[in-house]
Structure 1
Amino acid sequence: MDFLQILDDHVEPGGLVEWIPTVEGGLGSWQRDGRQTSHNHEQHLRAAFEYRARTQREGGRESWLGLAIDFDEPMSVPAVRAAMLAWIDRHEVLRTHVVLKYDHTERYSTPRGTVHLTMSRIGWYTETPLLLEQVAGSFDRATAPLHWPAYRFSTVARAESFTILFAADHSLVDGYSLVTAQYELTELYHAARDGRPHTLAPTNSYIEFSDAERGRADAADGSHPAVQTWREFLTTHGSVPRFAPLTPVDSSPEEPFDIEHPPQQSRTVRLLDDAQTQVLESLSAEAGGNLVAGLLAAMAIAYHRAAPDQEFAVVMPRHTRNDRAWLHALGWFVGLSPVAVDVSDSPDMPTATRRAAQGLRDGRHGASLPFLRVAELLGPPPAPRFVVSYMDTRGTPTATDADAGWARVLRSHSYSGDEVYIWLNRTPSGLRMHSRFPAEQPGPVLPFLGDFAQLLASTAATL
């Protein structure tokens, strides 16, 4: 399943309609909700507020994630409406809003069945680039995190097919949310079209998770394993990782919505097919690691060829869906772990794999406490600038169909001048890589990514 910057998607043109959530009476009719806000969500809101105060613009354009799902049949407007409303009722995170106060937050929520959808016909498009420019602009404006709704649906209808598009601010969703969402929205649409009950299993609410996580995090102190992990890492490395071959630019980690830089470049590559990925996984296991360790080992070797650093260091997001109750919940279930691999002696793949496996073990506790709570206890380090994410989508129903291209996860632009993000996705068809990096100086990144891909291909061809 691809993870594309929206303008790189391939939605066929057609009639564009926006579906805008509304509640009768507005937020004034909502109920005060005493459940606490996660650290991730609160800090996200404060960053957006600071950006708005500084620039007089809303800070939503580069922090949303989304989805595109293709249907090979004429669109049923009643079924589309019913599916979207059922999904909003299913996931409480879409029916809640957090208001930022000086020293705290206040949550307001609305019950199931109170959200309605306003259908707005935008027009008929005959060219995909113009269509996606319109959709991207609409999503940029609609997903501002300080407002509700910080999400929006669109549909593009054609005579014999249609596409559902969705975008939400990152405070409401993460990558796994959207991998699951492609299946849920498809099932809800087909159930509404066929006049039958849907077959989705019940799911719990991210708001319950946020409340419990916040309570545990606020009770943590400097003895927490996550704090100790990050303290040791920061003591050794001095700061969070960055992509060293990049020449430093005038970009502040305190300005996540920096508009001085052009949109980042992105790359999408299929690294290995399924058989090759299985070979890499076997070789990684023989070396004492797993597939993730093997991938990090290859990346560490490629990085050492591109950078003078004696150690490959990255930040890795890890999902915090540690209870099956949260498996299919929509929300931001993400912690951050530091990972370091010694490459000072230019290790071979088996050696680097063993070291990467140890680095993953050493850093695993880092994600057990929200990074922002760690920062409160240690003193705020800069935001991560070099991030590598791994996700396995094979356990999702209809994963094979989605991987064939009928569903894609989408992301907004990023405008950073020094961030490098790499997403590695294990799918039914193999291994895919998606990346974004500064547009102003992509030179060091592209050879590194190419070397990494070549090393994986040559390793997987050894059996």
Structure 2
Amino acid sequence: MEYTHLSEFSLRSGALTLWSAEVAPGHDWTADDRPLTSVHVRHCANTDANDPRPGRGRWIGTIFEMDAAFDAEDWRETVRLWHVRHEGLRTTLAGHGNPEPERLVLEGDGVVIADEAVTGLESAGAINEYLSDAMELRLSPLVWPHCLLATIEHADTGDFTVLVAADHSVMDAYSQAIVILELRAMYQSVRRGEPVRESVTFGSAADFAALERTTAAALTPRCEAVELWRRFLSGSGGMLPRFEPAISAPSHAAPLPQTSISRKLLPLTELEYVEAAVTARGHRLSVAVFTALAIAYRRAFGYISMRAIMPISTRPDLCWLESMGWFVNVVPLDITLAPDLDLDTSLESTRSALRRTKVANDATWTRALDLLSCTDSPRFGISFLDIRVLPDYQLVESLRGHTLRAESHSPDEVFFWIVRAADGLRLSTRFPAAFPTVEMDRFLYEFTKAMREFAEGVELEAAVPTTLLHDTPVVTPDPAPVPLSTGQPDLAPVPARR
């Protein structure tokens, strides 16, 4: 599964229809005394109510190909039932601009689904451009619905493509991944005339918000988690760290779209060999990935430490395992390696650094920064995801499932998303247009080289030919996906912490 822009997904042409929720006649919003999460409040406060394109650089989504024939009324019922299931999709706010906006909730039977046929678009490129524009214009944390769906019917193959796009306030990376199989299963049930699956794991995002705010309120300036953030900020003058090479002088010109790269760095056969070698060294793949990033940061740019923020999934109970919502926290990551970059020592240093972050797992990052009088925003972030814990992840791959992010125009943000996918190790990144692509290529080369080095000199019971370590190109851009005619998260469910 790749994490890309919509423009990087190879769309097939077809009949385009937009689907969105509306308030049914005779129904209205109800005030709810449960709060919004801290990050939701911050997200809304940073949104200009007069911005004509509130979704620009902010929306996220998922696209996949449904391995079934399209039926408009069955799909309408599927989308309606999806909104009924997830309270977060039936939630909005009042009082934007107030320190504490009010939560409004619509009952499930108050939702109807409207369709909007879009005609006159002949090519996949025109459809792509239209959809990208629609997401920027329509998706906002201030105006409901906060989610928009699209279908593209393919008459030549009898199947259809599904796009789910949302404001971040009602969807996170984990939601982006699990929605593929959820909508597929719901559509199958509706087509068969069967009730959709019920489960205690579709818990309310509003109930999570109440828990998160209570936990956040309990933080103090001297608690262990806030002290970790204090030490982290002190290393960069009270500010959140930057991917230093990408920092450029502020410009009065409008920022250009960021450069986006999505690549498969290691094919599956080689990655499995590296995984076995890392296990033999006593570590998990995640430790190896972050160690390789820190080694690459040293070799490419000369920095002793790699300091960044790391998004993590925060679904603290099984009741939220399959919920749609924004269940993400951020923790500080500071990896400092010894000068000689000995691999075993470096792996152990990284494991210790990752363990240190755990004290902040349940400590709301925005509240911690407030207590430390830090008004800065994240500029350098790294996320590692392993989709193998996602049930039927290979089915998701066969449906051409891709998670999507909006095109960013930030002049100084750098983010990396590394995925252990079904076909190997994939990396997606976005970085300022002013930062030379050749420099990022050099960093990715060093990262891939370091990953390979973990397997050198390690004896395994099932040996792989040593030529495999050197014959595969370091960086190989993927070819365009081949359309299928038939039949993520945080890309995958994470074991809940009770």
Give SS of 1:263's match: coil
Give SS of 1:233's match: helix
* Equivalence for 1:210: 209
Deviates more, 1:120-129 or 1:315-324: 120-129
| Letter of the structure 1 residue corresponding to residue 333 of structure 2 | V
* Equivalence for 1:79: 74
In structure 2, C-alpha distance between the alignment counterparts of 1:417 and 1:212, rounded to whole Å: 35
Aligned partner of 2:436 among 439, 442, 445? 442
- Trace 1:76-155 onto structure 2 (pairs within 5 A): 76-99=71-94, 100-155=96-151
What percentage of aligned pairs have identical amino acids?
A: 29
- Trace 1:10-89 onto structure 2 (pairs within 5 A): 10-24=10-24, 29-49=28-48, 52=49, 56-89=51-84
| Letter of the structure 1 residue corresponding to residue 245 of structure 2 | P
Deviates more, 1:12-21 or 1:380-389: 380-389
Contact between 1:311 and 1:344, CA under 8 Å: does it hold in 2?
A: no
Contact between 1:298 and 1:349, CA under 8 Å: does it hold in 2?
A: no
Give SS of 1:48's match: coil
Once the 2 structures are TM-superposed, how far is the Cα of residue 98 of structure 1 from its aligned partner?
A: 1.8
In structure 1, C-alpha distance between the alignment counterparts of 2:230 and 2:273, rounded to whole Å: 37
* Equivalence for 2:324: 330
In structure 2, C-alpha distance between the alignment counterparts of 1:247 and 1:31, rounded to whole Å: 46
In structure 2, C-alpha distance between the alignment counterparts of 1:397 and 1:76, rounded to whole Å: 26
Please say if 1:220 is aligned against 2:228.
no
Aligned residues: 452
* Equivalence for 2:309: 315
| Letter of the structure 1 residue corresponding to residue 199 of structure 2 | A
- CA distance 1:80–1:451, shift in 2 (3 Å): same
Contact between 2:16 and 2:119, CA under 8 Å: does it hold in 1?
A: yes
In structure 2, C-alpha distance between the alignment counterparts of 1:382 and 1:349, rounded to whole Å: 34
Q: Could you list the per-position Cα deviations for residues 139-196 of structure 1 after superposition, in whole angstroms to 9, with x for gaps in the alignment?
A: 1112111111121011101111211111001111111111111110000111111212
* Equivalence for 1:421: 415
- CA distance 1:460–1:286, shift in 2 (3 Å): closer
Q: Could you list the per-position Cα deviations for residues 50-104 of structure 1 after superposition, in whole angstroms to 9, with x for gaps in the alignment?
A: xx46xx5343211111011202343111111111111111111000112224222
| Letter of the structure 1 residue corresponding to residue 394 of structure 2 | T
Give SS of 1:403's match: helix
* Equivalence for 2:167: 169
Contact between 1:217 and 1:369, CA under 8 Å: does it hold in 2?
A: yes
Deviates more, 1:429-438 or 1:178-187: 429-438
Q: Could you list the per-position Cα deviations for residues 320-362 of structure 1 after superposition, in whole angstroms to 9, with x for gaps in the alignment?
A: 1122111111111111111122235140332221111111011
* Equivalence for 1:255: none
Deviates more, 1:261-270 or 1:363-372: 363-372
| Letter of the structure 2 residue corresponding to residue 132 of structure 1 | N
In structure 1, C-alpha distance between the alignment counterparts of 2:9 and 2:242, rounded to whole Å: 28
How big is the alpha-carbon RMSD for the aligned residues of Structure 1 and Structure 2?
A: 2.1
Please say if 1:181 is aligned against 2:175.
no
* Equivalence for 1:306: 300
Deviates more, 1:278-287 or 1:400-409: 278-287
In structure 1, C-alpha distance between the alignment counterparts of 2:112 and 2:380, rounded to whole Å: 40
* Equivalence for 1:402: 396
Once the 2 structures are TM-superposed, how far is the Cα of residue 379 of structure 1 from its aligned partner?
A: 0.8
| Letter of the structure 1 residue corresponding to residue 207 of structure 2 | E
Contact between 1:68 and 1:164, CA under 8 Å: does it hold in 2?
A: yes
Give SS of 1:406's match: coil
In structure 1, C-alpha distance between the alignment counterparts of 2:135 and 2:271, rounded to whole Å: 35
* Equivalence for 1:244: 244
In structure 2, C-alpha distance between the alignment counterparts of 1:358 and 1:244, rounded to whole Å: 24
In structure 1, C-alpha distance between the alignment counterparts of 2:16 and 2:321, rounded to whole Å: 33
* Equivalence for 2:353: 359
Contact between 1:290 and 1:357, CA under 8 Å: does it hold in 2?
A: no
- CA distance 1:19–1:354, shift in 2 (3 Å): same
Contact between 2:314 and 2:328, CA under 8 Å: does it hold in 1?
A: yes
Deviates more, 1:200-209 or 1:407-416: 200-209
In structure 2, C-alpha distance between the alignment counterparts of 1:172 and 1:217, rounded to whole Å: 20
* Equivalence for 1:292: 286
Any runs of at least 4 consecutive aligned residues in structure 1 with deviations exceeding 6 A, and if so which?
none
- CA distance 1:365–1:87, shift in 2 (3 Å): same
Give SS of 1:60's match: coil
Give SS of 1:439's match: coil
In structure 1, C-alpha distance between the alignment counterparts of 2:253 and 2:382, rounded to whole Å: 24
Once the 2 structures are TM-superposed, how far is the Cα of residue 410 of structure 1 from its aligned partner?
A: 1.1
Once the 2 structures are TM-superposed, how far is the Cα of residue 24 of structure 1 from its aligned partner?
A: 3.0
Once the 2 structures are TM-superposed, how far is the Cα of residue 259 of structure 1 from its aligned partner?
A: 8.7
In structure 1, C-alpha distance between the alignment counterparts of 2:136 and 2:442, rounded to whole Å: 31
Contact between 2:278 and 2:454, CA under 8 Å: does it hold in 1?
A: no
- CA distance 1:101–1:48, shift in 2 (3 Å): closer
| Letter of the structure 2 residue corresponding to residue 362 of structure 1 | R
Contact between 2:278 and 2:455, CA under 8 Å: does it hold in 1?
A: no
* Equivalence for 1:254: none
| Letter of the structure 2 residue corresponding to residue 216 of structure 1 | T
Once the 2 structures are TM-superposed, how far is the Cα of residue 16 of structure 1 from its aligned partner?
A: 0.6
- Trace 1:2-13 onto structure 2 (pairs within 5 A): 2-13=2-13
- CA distance 1:195–1:300, shift in 2 (3 Å): same
- CA distance 1:344–1:308, shift in 2 (3 Å): farther
| Letter of the structure 2 residue corresponding to residue 32 of structure 1 | A
* Equivalence for 1:383: 377
Q: Could you list the per-position Cα deviations for residues 217-263 of structure 1 after superposition, in whole angstroms to 9, with x for gaps in the alignment?
A: 12321233321110121123433221112242317xxxxxx992111
Contact between 1:341 and 1:352, CA under 8 Å: does it hold in 2?
A: no
* Equivalence for 2:478: none
Contact between 1:89 and 1:113, CA under 8 Å: does it hold in 2?
A: yes
| Letter of the structure 1 residue corresponding to residue 119 of structure 2 | G
Contact between 1:74 and 1:158, CA under 8 Å: does it hold in 2?
A: no
| Letter of the structure 1 residue corresponding to residue 298 of structure 2 | H
In structure 2, C-alpha distance between the alignment counterparts of 1:460 and 1:381, rounded to whole Å: 43
Give SS of 1:368's match: coil
Q: Could you list the per-position Cα deviations for residues 405-430 of structure 1 after superposition, in whole angstroms to 9, with x for gaps in the alignment?
A: 52111111111111111101123333
